[in-house]
Structure formats: C-alpha cells, structure tokens
Chains A and B, each alone.
Chain A
Amino acid sequence: MSDLNQNFFEKITYRDALRLAIHDAMIEDKKIIIIGVDVANYGGAYGATKDLLKIFGKERVIDAPISEPAIVGAAVGAAMTGLRPVAELMYVDFFGMSMDQIVNQLAKVRYMFGGQISAPLVLRTQGGTGRSAGAQHSQSLESWIMHTPGLFLSMPSKPNDAYHLLRHALRIDNPTIFIEHKLLYNSTGYLDKLDTNFSFGKANIIREGEDISIISYSRMINFAEKAAEILNQNNINSEIIDLRTLNPLDSKTIIKSVNKTKRALVLSESNYTSSVPSEITSIIFENCYRILKKPVIRYTAEDTPVPVAPNLEKNYIPTIEKIVEYSKKLCN
C-alpha cells in the first residue's frame, strides 16, 4: 500500500485491495469502525486490516475478545444505532457459533421490525481449503448465507472486485456478508478505483466463448481460467462467468450465457449437496431447459468434511484437470 492516493494500480494484492477499500471508506465515512479478534494490533490473521490501527486509532479499530457471537451481535447493535461496523470473523467456520446473531438477528432486523430500521454492517470473513487447516478451518459455507433472506453476499475473486464490492457494501443500507478466500490474499491483479464499468450485483464475464459456460466465484475462478486455456488448445471455447455476488445473484447473465453456449458447468469449492451450484443449476434448468444440449454439471468439493492430510486435501476440491475433462465431455 505504497501510495494511498493513487487511483490506478497495475498490480496489487487482493489483501491490499481490501485494506485500501476499508481505508478509503473510513476516510470518507467517520461512522465506520472495525471490530474483530486480532484486527488491530495483529492487523488481522491474514493481514487485511494491517496498519489501520496506526492510521485510525483504537477508537475505530477495535480488538475484541474471542467472543464471536457477541462480536456479531454488538456489530448489529452498533449498526442499528448509528454506526457502520466492519465486523470480522477470522474464519468462516465461526459462522457455526455466530449463526443466531447472523440469521435470527442481523438478517431479520429490518423485516421483523416493519422496516423501521436497518443494520448496515459488513461482516468480513474468509474460507476455503489449501492450508491443511483442517475440518474446522477450511470450509466453504456460503450456501448457509445465500439460503437466508435479508443478507447480501459477496465473494470476489479479483482485487478490483474486492475493492469495489467492499466500498459498495460500506455505502448501502443492507447488511453484507463478505467472504474472502485464504489463498487469494496474495493473488494479484489490477485495481482501478475510478472503474466506471463496475456495477454491483452484476456478474463479470471474464472470458467470452461459445461452447460452454463455466459459472463460478471466488478462488475457483482461477481454476476455471487455467482450464479455459487448456480447453482452448483443444478447440473448446469456454465462457467464464464470475458471479462476484451470490445475493444479489445475476441470473440474467447466467441465462443469457447458457442460452448461447447450451452447456454449463457450475464450479465451487463448497460441498455438493444443497450448495450454491445446486441453486444455479436449478435456475439454468428452469430457464434454459429447451435449449440445453447436455445436463448441467455441478462440480464441487466432495460431500465430506475437509481432511488435513495435504494429499487428501488437494483432491478434495475440484482440480483443473477434471474441469477440462468434464468440459470436454459436455462438448462432445
């Protein structure tokens, strides 16, 4: 984060894009505070809030005790009474203990109280495999949130999207659950703070193609991009759709793409059953069934907990080779 005032970065890490987004939003809006375990002194377990304590002080960047349900609940209360908290759960797996506050409190505040009030907060967290962090620190639990009305859900794969989605979440009146991926923090890409193309709730067509639509989000986008290159050498031209937000979900872009390619593979790092791909597959079937040449394929992690052994963990999630294999079979 060399120059905070710079508007364009050719290459920035996902981590720094997030830091910049929080930083810029905090400059603009004095009501924003950060609260979470090790967010201040330590700078966040994955460094996304590094140095913000130095810049904004301990009234706005608050280290909390390891009391996740109360961290989320207190953020809800602060949001209801005039502040705009960025609460952090160090791992998405801590949804487990925090779910009452997220689902029964946060998501319901506006509706249950007849629209009198909203809880405009952002709950940042991260998930996913790749560090042998084990069954309780590696899950992908986005479907729990997507299943709950009242919560916006962002899962960016690129620094530019991470920045703009976070800035957007810190301007709106709805609560946003913002799920990052532990292996994306060091990934790089461009950032254009003045990006006029960015539109909230709209999926990003990362690569245009005619033969097959690969629909995904978060880290799996990188896998899809690598698979697309290999497929290209095999004369299969894939279209990659990065959903970026799961609520709102850009069904329009999905349907339009599948109507063109007539084939779809929905890719995710979560478990298979009752997953985000399950939902997207239904949408595709409901809207494109006349035109589909092949069944829609959901390619996800196995329906088991996450194993710690590196050799098992690697094959637990989708692989690039298999994305290529299934795509080829779909295009046969």
Chain B
Amino acid sequence: MMSNTLLPELYTTMKRIRSFEERVGELFIKGESAGTMLHLSTGEEIGPACVGTAMKEQDTFTTHHRGHGIFIARGGDPKKMLAEIAGKKDGYCKGKGGSMHIADMKLGHLGANAIVGGGIPTVVGAGISYKYLKEERVSVAFFGDGAMQQGILYESMNMASLWKLPVVFCCINNQYGMGTKIDNAVGYKDFSKRAESFGLKTLHINDLDVENAYNKSREIIEDARKFQPGFIEIECYRFYGHARMDKSPYRNDLEETEMRKLDPIDYAKKELIKNNMLNKEEISEIDKNILNEMDEAMEFAIKSPVNDENEIFIDVYSEKDPLPISIDEKINKILSN
C-alpha cells in the first residue's frame, strides 16, 4: 500500500514551489526583477501540487497572476521562469510578458493573465478544440477567489456545461483578493453550489491532506475527459502580501500567525515521517537538491542577457508580416520631406 503513495512526489513539488517563490523574493530584493508586481504562491502549494499532478501530460491550462506555483507543478523550468520574471531574453516569453504572463505552449501552459478572470474562457475554447479534434485532453483554468466575482466565469461555466466540454475550473481560494477579505467580497460563500447550479461536478478541498486532494482532483479531471466538466475549490492562505510591495496592513498578526500554522509542506513532511515513507535524512536530501536547483536557476536568470532594442517590434504580427515601423523612423521620414 505504501509503495503506491504519491506523497513524496507531492511533497517535492510543494517544496520546489516554495523554494522557487523564495528566489522570486530574492530577485526582487536584489533589484533584478522586472518590476514589483510579483505574486507569490507561498502557503498555497497544495492546490498547484494536487491538481497539477492529477493532470495528464497532454492536458493544458491557464493561470491567474499568481501562477508560478501552478507552472512549477506542470513541469515549468525554474531557470526560464526566473529569467522571465527578470525580464530577460532567456525567459519563457523573451522577457516581454514577465511574472504575470508566463506561458509555454509546449508544456500546455496557455498563459498566465493579469486581468482577473481573463484566462478563464480560454479553456472553454480549448475544450471545444479537443472535443472537435477528438484529442483526449482536458483544459484547466486556475484562478483566485477574486475571479469568482467576475461575470465571465459564469458565462464560461454555462458554455462548458451546455456543450459538455473537457474542462475544469479550479479556484485557489486564499481568502483574500488584494486587501479585501473574502467575506467582504461575497454575499453568500458557497462556491461549489454556484458551480453545481450550472451542472458541473464539484470538489471542495479544505484541509492539508494533499494526497487525498490529489486523488479526488484526479476523479474530477478524468470525468472532464469524459465530457463531464468540473469545478474544484481549494482553500488555503496567502502567507505573504498581495504583491511584493504589500505588507498586508489590513490583516492582523494573530490571524497571520494562526493561519500560517496551516502549512501544507510541514503537514506533508510529518505525514511522510509518521508513515515511514521517507526518513528525515531522505527529506533533507530532497530539500538540498531543490535548493541547488533553485540556486542554478537564480544564477541563470541573473546572467541571462537583456533583449536587443528591436525586440519591441517583434511578435506584434506573425513573422511573415513586416515589423511595425518605429516612431523614430516615421518621424524622421516626415522631417526629411
């Protein structure tokens, strides 16, 4: 029975997410990040780990602005992610998208989004494609509790249900949208009920048992593959401020201290030891390897070159089309007349 457990893998994924986010914070402190709009998934690792692991290789997804953790769980390369966050040439989007717009079509990442709710209907479209093309793929939209208040989510849920699409909506509920606590954002807080009323199969995770969350998420995803779309809500707590400049003055220390005790990584570690799945030395070894991996990613990002100036004009249209003419060229042409 023990040999079937995925807990060591889930632990490793969560730990990699946390270490990655620590490096994002470090990048910011070193002044090497592109801007300060960096949203960390620290404390929220259970969602990315359980749903990310339950998805199959061919499955695709979109994320919200707090998407680093999800992509790590889906095989994102920390090197290219950190380089993107630094706005460098070797980043996933050549440094043009940044932290809030990491994407990688090869790994099924259809894009992180800075518009709350903006990436949700994308998975509906992906569902239409996969069903039409007869590909056995599921597309998952990841978003925060804030997006539960965007109308476009409900338009999307209805379409997924109406057209029986291989789609899952996954809400990472970290209790806050920026400085607004969830109780101040919703009149009635039962998200599963909302999804149910659209005909979706629902799952609500509200504890730290990541392996159980993984097993249940897999059922939702496999049902979606058989054209029963689903909805997953994972409750967690945003350990730090909304973005790097935010010190969360709107919530009290006691709440933070109490909620940070609900640490999915600590919990998984204890479970691993208690059930003799891994001993302390083995866990330290895993942790050490992760630190090395992230050190290398950090070095890679910092050493990665910046883009040539001309990169501004590339990717606006397809490579078969002419580049947009620069303003400088336009003006000089007029002035030389």
Contacts and interface: CB of A to CB of B under 8 A. Distances in A.
Interface of A: 37-38, 41-42, 45, 63, 65-67, 69-70, 93-94, 96-97, 131-137, 272, 294-295, 297-305, 307-312, 315-316, 318, 322, 326, 329-330
B175 to A, nearest CB: 14
Contact of B335 (A133, A134, A137, A294): A294
A316 B316 CA distance: 14
Q: What is the interface residue range for chain B against chain A?
A: 35 or more
Contacts of B105: none
B37 A316 contact: no
A42 B307 contact: no
Contacts of B149: 65-67
B247 to A, nearest CB: 12
A90 to B, nearest CB: 9
Contacts of A297: 331, 334-335
B313 A132 contact: no
A302 B326 contact: yes
B34 A132 contact: yes
3 tightest A-B CB contacts, nearest first: A132-B35, A42-B179, A308-B98
Nearest to B309: A315
Interface in B132-187: 146-147, 149-152, 177-180, 184-186
Contact of A136 (B36, B114, B306): B114
Contacts of B36: 131-132
B2 interface: no
Contact of B327 (A37, A65, A299): A299
A38 B337 contact: no
A326 to B, nearest CB: 6
Interface string B313-336: 100100000001111101100110
Contacts of B306: 309, 311
Contact of B184 (A63, A304, A307): A63
A120 B202 CA distance: 44
B150 A66 contact: yes
B327 A302 contact: yes
B178 A42 contact: yes
B69 interface: no
B121 to A, nearest CB: 12
Contacts of A305: 316
Provide the main secondary structure of the chain A interface. Answer: loop
A186 B96 CA distance: 27
B25 interface: no
B76 interface: no
A302 B87 contact: no
A269 to B, nearest CB: 12
Nearest to A58: B184
Given A63-B184, A67-B151, A131-B36, A302 B313 contact: yes
A135 B35 CA distance: 13
Given A41-B184, A65-B149, A308-B98, A131 B113 contact: no
A65 B34 contact: no
Nearest to B314: A304
B316 A65 contact: no
Contact of A131 (B35, B178, B337): B35
Contacts of A131: 35-37
B323 to A, nearest CB: 9
A132 B34 CA distance: 6
B331 A309 contact: no
A307 B312 contact: yes
20 contacts: A41-B180, A42-B179, A66-B116, A66-B149, A67-B149, A67-B150, A70-B151, A131-B37, A137-B37, A304-B316, A305-B316, A308-B35, A308-B87, A308-B95, A308-B98, A309-B95, A311-B309, A312-B309, A312-B312, A322-B328
Given A301-B327, A308-B97, A310-B87, 11 more contacts: A37-B178, A63-B184, A133-B35, A134-B101, A295-B334, A297-B335, A308-B35, A309-B94, A311-B307, A311-B309, A326-B331
